[in-house]
Amino acid sequence: MILTSRLGQRWHQATAVFGLFGLIAQLILSLSGIQVPAGLADRPGLGLRFIRFFCYFTIQSNLLVLVGVLPLALGLRGAHGSYDRRWWRVVRLAGVVGITVTGIVHWFLLRDPDAMINFGWLVDRVLHLVVPVLAVVGWLLFGPRPRIDAPTIRGAVAWPVLWLISTLTVGGLTGWVPYPFLDAEVTGAGTIVLTLIGITVMFLGLAFLGWWGDRRLPGGRPAPGEMPRTGAGDQSKIGPTVRDRFSSKNPE
């Protein structure tokens, strides 16, 4: 059984295309020196630029969205030991929540309304606005669900925590941070702590909001082995395997 509807598959395909375009275009711009993300203005060597490129929360969240959405875009099946495993569910949740944080933080903390409109501006909007909207709306409308439980939330939250720890460690050792609001010399240590607490709380809140919506939003597909969701009293939509399982039981 395909996990998403035909429209859902097309939506996930669009998400994958925009995400892949944004990541490749931004990597080319960064490595070529034509346009670099905030924090790379010191123009380090090519190898160091390549490594730092993947240190950005924006890049990592877009990568997670891409990995999570590719099986859905390709219409792969989720049962019988294929991609629909714990690791994919963690990646899917981390990607959706992470890209939501990316969009919110960019809009309120990093967006430059006076930025020159050029190709770099377009790529920036794709990574920070287009992909977040496509990913979140795609999850809301097409799922698949239910896919979120406590272990999935723990796994998803581990990623931003590790990112924060590694980012602050590298910043303390080298003086380089990927975002201006993480620079203690610019904003002050107290502001950094408050910002990080706010981002962490926001990530946790969004993850639990996703868990809540995962069980209440319509249009999702059941996980392998779970009973499909149907309207009240509508037994005709229950697959034969589930119906046979119930009908085969002897009344007690």
Per-residue pLDDT at 228 exceeds 70: no
Whole-number Å distance between alpha carbons of 72 and 250: 39
Per-residue pLDDT at 244 exceeds 50: no
Summarised one tens digit per residue, pLDDT across range 189-211 is 888 888 888 888 889 899 999 99
* pLDDT score for 39: 47
Give the burial string for 111-129 (b: 16+ CB within 10 Å, else e): eeeeeeeeebeebbbbbbe
* pLDDT score for 36: 55
| DSSP letter for each residue of 39-50 | T-TT---HHHHH
Per-residue pLDDT at 215 exceeds 70: yes
Summarised one tens digit per residue, pLDDT across range 24-78 is 999 999 888 766 554 445 567 888 889 889 999 999 999 999 999 999 998 876 5
Most confident of 47-56, 86-95, 211-220: 86-95
Per-residue pLDDT at 88 exceeds 70: yes
Residue 27's Cβ-count burial label (10 Å; 0-12, 13-18, 19+) is middle
Question: Mean pLDDT in the chain?
Answer: 80
Per-residue pLDDT at 99 exceeds 90: yes
Whole-number Å distance between alpha carbons of 13 and 4: 12
Per-residue pLDDT at 163 exceeds 60: yes
pLDDT band at 1 (very low <50, low <70, confident <90, very high): very low
pLDDT band at 155 (very low <50, low <70, confident <90, very high): very high
Crossing angle for the helix pair 131-142 and 6-32, nearest 10 degrees?
160
Q: Are 22 and 28 in contact (CB under 8 A)?
A: no
Q: What is the pTM of this model?
A: 0.79
* pLDDT score for 159: 93
* pLDDT score for 237: 37
